[in-house]
């Protein structure tokens, strides 16, 4: 199973760990972790590093 850590900001800070899925809802990204906990973020995906299991976001 591949889980990711999600980072946001110019100097990336982690905002969610063990993220299993990323979806869109009403214009926001919805991050769901392995336990089913969701985090909504008003941001867009900047990059995804599948080798390091990292997702970088940029706030709108």
Q: How far apart are CA 39 and CA 28, in angstroms?
A: 10
Beta-strand pair 38-41/28-33: antiparallel
Name the percent of the chain lying above pLDDT 70.
Answer: 100
Summarize pLDDT for 22-43 with one digit per residue, the tens. Answer: 999 999 999 999 999 999 999 9
Q: Say how many domains are in the chain.
A: 1
- For residue 53, is pLDDT > 80? yes
Q: Is 41 exposed, middle or buried (0-12, 13-18, 19+ CB in 10 A)?
A: middle
Domain that includes residue 47, residue range: 4-59
The whole-model pTM stands at: 0.93
C-alpha count within 13 angstroms, C-beta hemisphere, residue 9: 6
């Amino acid at each position: 199973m591949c889980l990711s850590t999600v980072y946001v900001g110019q100097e990336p800070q982690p905002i969610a760990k063990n993220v299993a899925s990323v979806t869109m809802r009403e214009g926001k990204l919805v991050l769901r972790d392995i336990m089913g906990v969701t985090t909504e973020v008003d941001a867009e995906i900047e990059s995804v590093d599948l080798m390091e299991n990292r997702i970088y976001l940029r706030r709108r």
